[in-house]
Structure 1
């Protein structure tokens, strides 16, 4: 029997790889002769580099400017075929700052642009950017400047980095933009449809969690509107489109430059992007049983998160899916609609929450063991083998 174990991270407890190894141990305790493959997944945000490494990419590391100009060592991944995988969280992440109005106003993504340059230096022809957990609301202006652009005020002087400074933007000079961008496609893992500005835009929806108070939210939104105007004047591209508000508006700057460069810039569903990167559909199709899961399998999971994406792929091929999670609160009938025929939760086995979190690998292994044992028990042909 061929079993594929493809979980997302158990946030705060286990990485996707650690969860996968624990689940695989549970599978082997019930099916000792099974051929078990572990393929960690991600939804295109934090953890995307990790799953790329698990899929055979090699680790890379670059020292960049963090969101407040401090030096940050940012890890990324590079496949031998020239595909690079980056995360904004590693270079420009919210975890690298203490959220306050001051940091929300000044944070930038210059370091994320430096990672793109590092990927080009390494010969990458395709750059995949996971854009979760960002600290900035600068419309991608920092990254663009790291790649050779200049953002100028009315007197032709370079503006300071940061989102709030964009309220004084008068022009963007793209003449020094990194020419190698013309030979590399860039894909952003984008699971939100927020435009750059307005009531559903980058500042209004996301800046409060980055430390912005109501007055700063309004100022940042106005600054992004000015930035959109400057980009449109320079390139003719309207960047205030669905998805452009992700990661503080990072994709907007690259969408504006795409026609000038001639290279594709894409906004893609995070799970779909990662699935293609890993060859997940092929791995699922070659399995007899699939296990997936995440820390909390809940109603939000049913709206297209990674484990449900895995389940849908398997169900499309008529393959049974078992879900293992820290907690399972998603409606069981709804899970069954995605091909999940069984589920087990660490919280149902551990004596208390502290144990479930502190010994997450142990309880994940036992939960997987329970799910597989129940699955086997329901199949007389398997019990007789």
Structure 2
């Protein structure tokens, strides 16, 4: 039996590669001669660079400004050859919640500057195609820090604006004429499955800032700052009005800055990763596909990794099953999404804390169960 495992991370428990390894151990307990291939996948957030490296990209490390100003060692993936150079940048490694010192959130002052510095580092290496994978960000600064790192001036009455979204309400002027000229010659892709606009009830502050530690009062402050930033930026020549565009609210508004100033195009992250890994061709050559992520829920149906993998399997006529920490999907929803079966770890271990701490041995047991049931179908 030929089996392809293409799983996203189980956040806080296991990387996509670790999920695949544990499932493979369980499968081989039942089918020792199974031919198992693992393909790391992601949806543009954490794990996107790992997927690119597994596809043959080169890892490049740069020291950048972390979300609260501390230096962070961050890597991106690059591929050179055939007259082109392409970079895959994962915002989370430079400006993400996971790199906050001691995990202490800073909803009003966290900056996306490090992400801009990674883009500059990719340009320094000659990359003219840059995929910006967003997700897991610590900031709600509308991409202000990213733009500053790339030469855009954002000023208040007292000088250059301070880091973070709260300070943006005091902006008095914006000047994009200093934007790194290499941006004009680069093709930038915003890899995101988020379709939220920048402002309003579905915007970056209202929907995502509370996950980054913002109180209700903080959300109001951040909304005012994002609104001021958009108002001033969109009065600048060459800036594309994008505050209402799908994806502008991604990553605390970094999506907006990318669309409006860097003139990025938006593409679902899973589509980008599938293209990098050649997933469609790999799926077509196997008998069973296993995909998964930590939580399989309504948000997953909006285009998260498992749905993208399921779509590729369905197009190839190959059955696909999903593994997850927990699932809130009804059997009908799971079937409509293309899954032949769903295997939540919560069926084995109902305590979420225990499941998170012991995901790998639980995944081994699930792998054995999938193998046993696949033989009877």
Partners of 2:267 and 2:150 lie apart in 1 by: 22
Deviation at 1:122, TM superposition (A): 1.9
* 2:254 aligned with 1:255: no
Change (3 A) 1:84 1:376: same
Q: Which moved more, 1:27-36 or 1:351-360?
A: 351-360
Structure 2 residue matching 1:84: 3-state secondary structure = strand
Contact kept? 1:19, 1:364, Cα under 8 Å? yes
Contact kept? 1:324, 1:368, Cα under 8 Å? no
* 2:70 aligned with 1:66: no
Change (3 A) 1:159 1:360: closer
Deviation at 1:291, TM superposition (A): 1.2
Contact kept? 1:16, 1:51, Cα under 8 Å? no
| Equivalence for 1:340 | 339
Partners of 1:21 and 1:130 lie apart in 2 by: 25
Partners of 1:119 and 1:177 lie apart in 2 by: 15
Deviation at 1:64, TM superposition (A): 0.8
Deviation at 1:302, TM superposition (A): 3.4
| Equivalence for 1:269 | 268
Contact kept? 2:63, 2:74, Cα under 8 Å? yes
Equivalences for residues 52-201 of structure 1 within 5 A? 52-81=52-81, 82-95=85-98, 96=100, 103-153=106-156, 157-201=159-203
Change (3 A) 1:245 1:345: closer
Contact kept? 1:9, 1:295, Cα under 8 Å? yes
Gaps of 5+ in 1: 259-263, 379-385
Q: Which moved more, 1:325-334 or 1:127-136?
A: 325-334
Contact kept? 1:194, 1:243, Cα under 8 Å? yes
Gaps of 5+ in 2: none
Structure 1 residue matching 2:45: 3-state secondary structure = coil
TM-score (norm 1): 0.88
| Equivalence for 1:382 | none
| Equivalence for 1:3 | 3
Aligned length: 370
Partners of 2:222 and 2:359 lie apart in 1 by: 40
Q: Which moved more, 1:23-32 or 1:61-70?
A: 23-32
Partners of 1:282 and 1:291 lie apart in 2 by: 15
| Equivalence for 2:283 | 284
Partners of 2:49 and 2:322 lie apart in 1 by: 23
Contact kept? 1:163, 1:220, Cα under 8 Å? yes
| Equivalence for 1:231 | 233
Partners of 1:303 and 1:222 lie apart in 2 by: 28
Change (3 A) 1:248 1:24: same
